[in-house]
């Protein structure tokens, strides 16, 4: 094993995902030679902990990446679009959690359990994209099914936690819940409607076709990661008053027939998946169980009796960990081990 260590920058280090990226680097013992935390000018003066050391936050600038090997970005699409090319130009490979580069044909879009080979394509632009949180947890269990039985069509409805929107949204759900329970007035700033005690069928912006951008990401990103443009995906994405952990109801139409039993057996041995499926004892995947861990929980596996080749399942994962930070750090690990 190589003992090589790397100079690592985290852009968006003060945010919900950036903070978790730092924790993941620590927990997974990433081979760090030096580490740098970047955010907006507002955060200069703050310090963030890394393995017991208080590291000052620096302002993200065009020349922030000189002498750095790997940058993990989670500072929003516009920031990635602007600054990732400067990092790449300075020889610092970017693993980007925003949607800015995901559909660029020259940028690989990677879920390590599914298409780690795509990382090799990083050389085109010096950028690797991390998929959308809802797509990651969907393709982890669907990839082995697609390989073995072929997936024709996916119908998915999501129940997404507010942490996916960022720290401000976590604070807004907290504040609204407390205010409503205490009969006080409350502010609604992050979402167009109150999120406490509510469900919003609206994630990201609405497009011409009536879908939201989040819903279309689930189609385009799934096709890119599974390397199959014939798969149909129709999604309804919903924000729910949950802090951490996205849940998804997924209906799959396969090309070859597969029983619920065979799906369960296949997923039992799929890397990154934990089958949690004993409904008679009230055991099924829950957001509060997924939160804080890296596995994608799959349960309620059953045959869709309305079609000849259909499967239903309920899939839950921590959107900040596997849906964002962990997946990004896993990509960086493969990059560091096999390519740098």
User: How many other C-beta atoms can be found within 10 angstroms of the C-beta atom of residue 283?
Assistant: 12
The CB-of-295 to ligand A2P minimum distance in angstroms stands at 24
- Residue burial 228-265, b: 16+ Cβ < 10 Å; e: rest: eeebebebbbbbbbbbbbbbbebbbbbeeebebeebbe
| Touching ligand A2P, residues 54-113 (CB under 6 A) | 60, 75-76, 79
Site string for ligand A2P, 180-219 (x = CB under 6 A): ----------------------------------------
DSSP state of 105: T
Alpha carbon distances (Å) from 91 to 70, 81, 194, 328: 9, 17, 44, 18
The CB-of-109 to ligand A2P minimum distance in angstroms stands at 20
The CB-of-227 to ligand A2P minimum distance in angstroms stands at 30
Catalytic residue among 133, 199, 202, 220: 133
| Touching ligand A2P, residues 7-46 (CB under 6 A) | 12-16, 18, 39-40, 42-43
Of the pair 12, 299, the CB lying nearest ligand A2P is at 12
Which two three-digit tokens encode residue 218? 């689930």
The CB-of-18 to ligand A2P minimum distance in angstroms stands at 5
Q: What is the DSSP string of 6-56?
A: EEEEEETTTSHHHHHHHHHHHHTT--EEEEEEEE-GGGBTBEEEETTEEEE
- Cα–Cα distance between 227 and 299 in angstroms, integer? 26
- 53: exposed, middle or buried (C-beta count within 10 Å: 0-12, 13-18, 19+)? exposed
- Cα–Cα distance between 29 and 41 in angstroms, integer? 29
Is residue 51 near ligand A2P by the rule CB under 6 A?
Answer: no
| Touching ligand A2P, residues 133-172 (CB under 6 A) | 166-168
133 is a catalytic site residue: yes
Of the pair 38, 263, the CB lying nearest ligand A2P is at 38
Of the pair 154, 190, the CB lying nearest ligand A2P is at 190
246 is a catalytic site residue: yes
Positions annotated as catalytic residues are: 133, 246
Write out the residues near ligand A2P by the rule CB under 6 A. Answer: 12-16, 18, 39-40, 42-43, 60, 75-76, 79, 166-168
């Amino acid at each position: 094993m190589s003992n090589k260590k790397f100079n690592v920058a985290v852009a968006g280090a003060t945010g919900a995902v950036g903070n978790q990226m730092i924790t993941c680097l620590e927990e997974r013992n990433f081979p760090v030679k030096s580490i740098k935390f970047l955010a907006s000018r507002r955060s200069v003066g703050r310090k963030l902990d890394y393995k017991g050391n208080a590291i000052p936050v620096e302002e993200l600038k065009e020349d922030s990446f000189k002498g750095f090997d790997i940058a993990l970005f989670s500072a929003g699409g516009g920031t990635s679009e602007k600054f990732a090319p400067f990092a790449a130009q300075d020889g610092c490979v970017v693993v980007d959690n925003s949607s800015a580069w995901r559909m660029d044909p020259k940028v690989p879009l990677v879920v390590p359990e599914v298409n780690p080979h795509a990382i090799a394509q990083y050389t085109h632009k010096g950028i690797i994209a991390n998929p959308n949180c809802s797509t990651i947890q969907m393709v982890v269990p669907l990839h082995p099914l697609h390989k073995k039985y072929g997936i024709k069509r996916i119908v998915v409805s999501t129940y997404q936690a507010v942490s996916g929107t960022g720290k401000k949204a976590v604070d807004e759900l907290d504040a609204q819940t407390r205010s409503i329970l205490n009969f006080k007035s409350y502010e609604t700033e992050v979402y167009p409607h109150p999120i406490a005690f509510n469900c919003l069928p609206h994630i990201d912006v609405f497009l011409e076709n009536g879908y939201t951008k989040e819903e279309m990401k689930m189609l385009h990103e799934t096709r890119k990661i599974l390397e199959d443009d014939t798969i149909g995906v129709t999604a309804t994405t919903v924000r729910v008053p949950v802090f951490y952990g996205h849940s998804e109801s997924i209906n799959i139409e396969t090309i070859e027939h597969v029983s619920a039993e065979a799906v369960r057996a296949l997923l039992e041995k799929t890397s990154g998946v934990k089958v949690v499926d004993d409904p008679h004892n009230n055991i099924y995947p829950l957001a509060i169980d997924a939160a804080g861990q890296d596995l994608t929980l799959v349960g309620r596996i059953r045959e869709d009796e309305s079609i000849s080749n259909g499967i239903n399942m309920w899939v839950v994962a921590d959107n900040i960990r596997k849906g964002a930070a962990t997946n990004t750090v896993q990509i960086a690990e493969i990059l560091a081990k096999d390519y740098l």
